[in-house]
Structure 1
Amino acid sequence: LFALEVILGSFAIRHLNAVVIASVVAAVTTQVLVGEERILTSPAYELDDPKQLLLFAALALFAVAFGLIFLKVSDLVRTARRRSPLPSWMLPIVAGVSVALIGIALPETLGTGQEFLQGLLHLEDAGGYVWWTLAAVALGKGVSNAITKTGGGSAGTFMPSLVIGGAVGAAFAILVDPLWGFSDMDPGAFAVVGMAATFAAVARAPLTSVVIVFEVTGDYGLVLPLMLGAALATFLGERFHPDSEYTAPLTRLGIHLPRTEDIDLLDTVKVGAVMSECDTVATEDMDLASLGLLLAQTRHHGVPVVDAGGRLAGMITVGDLEAAGGPRDDLTVAAAMSRRPITVTADQPVSSALARMAALDVGRMPVVAEDDPGRILGMFRRESVVRAYHDALGTATGRELYRERVRQRSDPGARFFEIQVRRGSPVAGQRVQDIGWPAGATLVSVRRGAAVLIPHGETLLEAGDTLTAFGTGTAREEFAVLVEPEEEPTGEWRHPLLSDDDGG
């Protein structure tokens, strides 16, 4: 269920079959090897008073609050690590000392917290606890977990979120019990529901939360409170923090997990549908002075070169012209051009063409006939990328294409992604040419409201613009840091999108 809810975001039969088979095999194998051992157990609690559903709904609100604090602290600590002036070798030391100080004040926050949580699940009354100490343990566990991750230590998300939820649930019951006169309240039962609700808020996986609590406790008597708490926690969590603890690091890297039938839209468009007419060419005997004038008049950064028969002979760009000493009368295009140009055919997907442009660091490619590489059909430029992307937005695609693109996504390489310029971003109010863009990323387009702009050096970026870019994984991370507002992040990122780029 976790893979279906968090990673795939789909319960399609083709996914469910594989997940069920894998889960059954894993469960049987584990049972044979280690037996019926559970990491947690609890008494068989029951919902004796339906009116307590109101209390469990209220508990979900507290679970969401603590879950959001857990997510926010993780965001803040990740940002602090990235901006920290401390050398990398010192971070584990600082993190270790910080966790130790928290552990001195709240020993329950150290380790996995399994024994502490086991005790909470068996509480039938307040025992030796008061509500505010349990709330402090929940907060301390979230902070120590985030600090441990920042220092490079081993700390997960599943067990810490259960410990936080169990502490919040027991604290809620101890706090409310003196005020509730309708029926007896078991802190252990509220700890069970608190675990499911908090994990649902942190992971955005309500069904997984309910089933996992069933499995680790072996208790099915609280099915209604569990489902109510997990559903409310997921619903409210998504309203206040768009990413789960599992997807937030991917979002910061510009990686967007596909949802249901999401695909790379550029797979649906062929190069031939969006290529521009090849209305400007250079000849091999043209001098570089004439070439410079041609490029200035057409505002192209590169043009194909044809021989006397009109067939493709090479490619020449502004870079080639500058490398040859600039516009001059004593040198011809044939001496400065690239004789083996990178080409693309009309029936190739735009995504494939973009990947080729990014890998070879070229900004334009001649489109040639598949059966005759010397015959030019058109040009594939940056404008073609923008046109293809927005033409494809309304295109319906089949499942077979989706499966193929999922296979392609498993290959390493560059991706097409989007990031929004939020208020306070250092790039807001700056011209494109004045911004130090990452070397491995290329800005493709700027969407401003309903308008799509093809950026040039003088384009002024504004808060609210959505930047479409293409780059490697490292470049995507640098791109996100560059565009990130100066103040601490709030999780309001525009999700990075698809998987391919341009060149210029």
Structure 2
Amino acid sequence: MTATTITDRASRLRTRLARASDIEGSMLAMGALTGLLTGLLASGLILGIRLLQPLLWGGDVLWWELLLLPTAGAFVVGLLVTYVVPEASGSGIVRTMETLAVRGGRFRRRVPLAGLAATTVALSAGASGGREGPIALMGGATGSLVGQLFRLDEDRMKSMVGAGVAAGIGASFNAPIGGMLFAIELILGRMRARSLQVVVVSSVVGSVTARQLVGSGVTFDLPVDYQFSDPWHLLGYAVLGLSAAGLGLAFVRGEAAAFRMFTWLRRRLWRPLTLAIGGLGVGIIALFVPEVLGTGDALPPIEGLIDPVHALLTRDLDVGWAAIGVLAALLVAKFAATMLTIGSGSAVGTFAPTLFTGAALGAMVGIAADTIVPSAGLDPRAFALVGMAAGFSAAARAPLTSIIIVFELTGDYGMVLPLMLSCGVATWLADRWEPDSVYTHPLHERGIVPGELDDIDVLQVVTAGEAMTPDHPSLLDVQPWEEVVDLFERTGSHGFAVVDGGNRLVGVVTRSDVEDAERHPLVRSGRRRVSQLTALDLATQRPVAVHPDDPVHNAVHRMAALDIGRVPVIERRSRRLVGIVRRGDVVGAYQQGLNRHLGDQQRRATRSLRDLAGVSFVEERVAEGSLADGNRVREVAWPARTIVTTIRRGGEVVMPTGDTRFSPGDVVVVLADNASRGTVRHLLTVPSRDGYDPTDPAQQDGVADDEATVE
């Protein structure tokens, strides 16, 4: 089957869906397709790790292998995230939220499969992280690609991204309810009926697909049925919540510090080398605490090594301060290894490390409580279970997701009250100490504001094509430094789009880019002088953009998210530049949208009168030179049975009196009988001429009355 045939069939299918009477039913079908594809990706990730880990590890591992394998694996991942799929670098949740905020949820086609390869290599080679972030990224990208295939609008596109994330979490951990809540609580940020339906379907389909391919067992099969019986035990779980808040804050601040450190390194070294340095750091820690390798629940098959999380939940734990010291060392080692992995930009997530460290922290609190009050009958394993949820809740600020997803991961529902108390205390206190979560803090550090306005905005009724500046100057990608500087000096502009020879957008150059040219990597490395730089060298490549039929609201959202002053407008298919939306253009768009919004309100308010016998509303704009122009309402020769109801002027609604004077551009709404509609329209829109009598039907131009009727 040729590519042209596939495109034609997809186009016909899009047409059928667009004509379907139940578009939400079509959305459910797309959600199911997203869940199926994401379930296959999640299964591929799990099976890929199961196959590759034994090839890299096994038996009695030598010390130099503990250093070499994480380092080499990180270097390979560095090559992938540098040259193939930079979206996979760092937490996939953060990347997904960033794409929703600045690109309307539109991912590149290569993200799912390339991200799958990068994460498989990273976790198989011993990177300290989880698979939930990457599979959420792959699922979100899959939902985005399905949405792009059927050309969904931005609001529905975001629902599809959320559906893909839910399917990814549900499939990766066999937790469909947790996946649904994860997407709604962390990605979409709200619960709407349309999003909820698609997310539920996608999460269930993704979970069922993965279950059929990789098994149906829960992640942690607990032989012990934990039960909560003594209300006094809640004091211990409250202390655990307080401790988990500190753990969550440590993840937020620790990842930020690690990211700054590796950013400093990336400015001086080749990026794959910085990831290799992070991998080497993990290997050094693994020499002393090999349990830090991998996710914590699926360690490399090294002889004598047991999964620490499973051990904390299922085995009898030693009681005493020495046991607490061992767990503290395990927690610190896993935390440090995770910071090195995440901070360097490897393709892993944060979810599994928070479960690992949370379980260790919970076991520490439980052992301490049992040591201090041995007669209370506390079970440290139950504290480890609750600590998993509390740790993630404090880091991600998602208590509901944490509670439900731990239920599904363990299959145990006997600890509802302790889970609710610890997660509630941890989230509340962590939010007081640090408003940002482990997922939103990196975005704010880069100047990106996640989320969106939920209210109806007047800028949603004006398109970018209507508001843009179509003739704004642009730069060719090959233009030299001197011409770039000259254009900035001549125009006084703060930024220009950069296009190739086919007028396709390839980047954006700002005044700050020109001013910082001395610090450009090509200049710092000595490969070029400043005078040898081109417009493309200076430009920010793959910039955010909008399309002519997008609402201006989308452009403003991207400008606010990135704190920029302009957004290019490009054709949807060809990416040809057609204009730029600037902050000044937004002001005019707001006025235009306000006029339309007021007009809609006015029509809705007066629609109940349109069925009066022989009477209807006429809405027209006063033309310059018309008989109404410059005259007062009482000076215009209105036909009998005519009432001027309202005048919209400059974004305001004026209730007219006889002395109200008309001005060109006023939008006038008149209540008139059917026989007088043409006359009213002529009075407002037709330039006056000598001897013209608008009340004489013989002198009218015969314009169809229906065109002026407000329905």
Between the aligned partners of 1:87 and 1:6, the Cα distance in structure 2 is: 34
Superposed displacement of residue 387, structure 1:
8.3
Q: Distance in 1 between matches of 2:492 and 2:277?
A: 54
Partner of 1:18: 198
Q: Among residues 406, 409, 412, which one is paired with 1:216 in the alignment?
A: 409
User: Do the aligned residues in 1 keep the contact of 2:313 with 2:384 (CA within 8 Å)?
Assistant: yes
**C-alpha distance after superposition, 1:141-166 (max 9, x if no partner):** 12211211233434321111100000
1:122 corresponds to: 314
Contact kept, 8 Å, 2:566 with 2:582, in 1: the verdict is no
Q: Is the 8 A contact 1:165 1:195 kept in 2?
A: yes
Question: 3-state SS of the aligned residue for 1:359?
Answer: strand
- Whole-angstrom distance in 1 between the partners of 2:592 and 2:395: 37
Greater relative contact order (CA < 8 Å, ≥ 6 in sequence): 1
The residue number in structure 2 matching 1:168 is 361
2-structure distance, mates of 1:12, 1:180: 48
2:290 paired residue among 99, 103, 107: 107
Separation in structure 2 between the aligned mates of residue 348 and residue 44 of structure 1, nearest angstrom: 54
Partner of 1:80: 261
Q: CA deviation at 1:118?
A: 0.2
Give 1:60's aligned amino acid. Answer: G
Amino acid at match of 2:395: V
Partner amino acid for 1:97? Answer: L
Whole-angstrom CA distance in 1 between matches of 2:383 and 2:319: 15
Taking a change above 3 Å as real, the CA distance of residues 28 and 58 of structure 1, as seen in their structure-2 partners, is same
Query: Do the aligned partners of residues 388 and 135 (structure 1) sit closer, same or farther apart at CA in structure 2, a change above 3 Å counting?
Result: farther
Deviation at 1:104, TM superposition (A): 2.3
Give the Å deviation of 1:9. Answer: 1.0
Letter matched to residue 314 of structure 2 = H
Structure-2 residue corresponding to 1:63: 244
Pair 269,300 (structure 1): closer, same or farther in 2 beyond 3 Å: farther
Matched, 1:2 2:185: no
Read off the aligned partner of 1:126 and give its amino acid letter: D
Gaps of 5+ in 1: 276-298, 302-346, 362-379, 398-504
Which amino acid in 1 is paired with 2:293?
L
Is 1:239 matched with 2:432? yes
> How far off is 1:46 after superposition?
0.4
Distance of 1:348 and 1:98 partners within structure 2: 47
Query: What SS does structure 1 have at the residue aligned with 2:387?
Result: helix
**TM-score of the aligned structures, taking structure 2 as reference length:** 0.39
How far did 1:262 drift? 5.6
Counterparts of residues 374-385 of structure 1 (less than 5 Å)? 382=583, 385=586
| Cα deviation 1:244-300 (Å, max 9, x = unaligned) | 2223333334333325726777436799x999xxxxxxxxxxxxxxxxxxxxxxx99
Give 3-state SS (helix, strand or coil) of 2:348's partner. Answer: coil
> Residue 319 of structure 2 contacts residue 367 of structure 2 at CA under 8 Å; is this kept in 1?
no
More moved, 128-137 vs 66-75: 128-137
Matched AA of 1:122 = T
Q: Which residue number in structure 2 is paired with residue 93 of structure 1?
A: 276
Q: How does 1:143-182 map to 2 (within 5 A)?
A: 143-181=336-374
Q: Does 1:226 align with 2:419?
A: yes
Distance of 1:61 and 1:392 partners within structure 2: 49
Partner of 2:353, secondary structure, is helix
Q: Return closer, same or farther for 1:357/1:183 CA change in 2, 3 Å cut-off.
A: closer
Which of 316, 324, 327 is 1:131 aligned to? 324
Determine the structure 2 residue equivalent to 1:38: 218
The residue type equivalent to 2:218 in the other structure is: R
Deviation at 1:94, TM superposition (A): 2.2
Equivalents in 1 of 2:311, 2:386: separation in Å? Answer: 15
**Structure with the larger helix share:** 2
Aligned length: 312
Give CA-to-partner distance per residue, 1:359-408, whole Å, 9 cap, x none: 279xxxxxxxxxxxxxxxxxx98556468779999x999xxxxxxxxxxx
Letter in 1 for 2:426: A
Question: Deviation at 1:179?
Answer: 1.6
Alignment CA distance shift 1:352-1:261 (3 Å): closer
Structure 2 letter corresponding to 1:11:
M
Indicate if the aligned counterparts of 1:142 and 1:160 stay in contact, CA closer than 8 A.
Answer: yes
Q: CA 1:37–1:82 in 2, change beyond 3 Å: closer, same or farther?
A: same
Structure 1 length-normalised TM: 0.54
Helix, strand or coil at the partner of 2:568: helix
Alpha-carbon separation, structure 2, partners of 1:14 and 1:348? 21
Quote how far apart the aligned CAs of 1:99 are. 1.4
Residue 260 to residue 62, structure 1, CA distance change in 2 (3 Å): farther
Q: Distance in 1 between matches of 2:455 and 2:292?
A: 40
Distance 1:229 1:19 in 2: 28
Aligned-pair CA distance for 1:187: 0.9
Q: Which residue of 2 aligns with 1:321?
A: none
8 Å CA contact retained: 1:269, 1:350:
yes
Contact 2:258–2:344, Cα closer than 8 Å, also in 1: no
Give the conservation status (yes or no) of the 8 Å contact 1:121–1:189. yes
Change (3 A) 1:26 1:60: same
| Paired AA for residue 121 in structure 1 | L
CA contact (8 A) 2:319 2:371 kept: no
The question of whether the paired residues in 2 share the 8 Å contact of 1:123 and 1:187 is answered with no
Per-residue deviation at 1:226?
0.8
Q: Which residue of 2 aligns with 1:189?
A: 382
2:289 and 2:550 mapped to 1: Cα distance? 61
Distance across 1 between alignment mates of 2:597 and 2:421: 36
CA contact (8 A) 2:247 2:395 kept: no
Q: Who is 2:568 aligned against?
A: 359
The CA distance in 2 between the partners of 1:240 and 1:77, in whole Å, is 20
Provide Cα deviations, 1:458-495, integer angstroms capped at 9, x if missing partner: xxxxxxxxxxxxxxxxxxxxxxxxxxxxxxxxxxxxxx
Q: 1:96 to 1:352 in 2, by over 3 A?
A: closer
Q: Kindly provide the amino acid, as one letter, of the partner of residue 245 in structure 1.
A: V
Alignment root-mean-square deviation, CA: 3.9
SS for the counterpart of 1:242 is coil
Judge conservation of contact 2:362–2:386 (CA < 8 Å) in 1.
yes
Q: Is the 8 A contact 2:259 2:344 kept in 1?
A: no
SS in 2 for 1:45: coil
When Rg is computed on C-alpha atoms for both structures, the one with the higher figure is 2
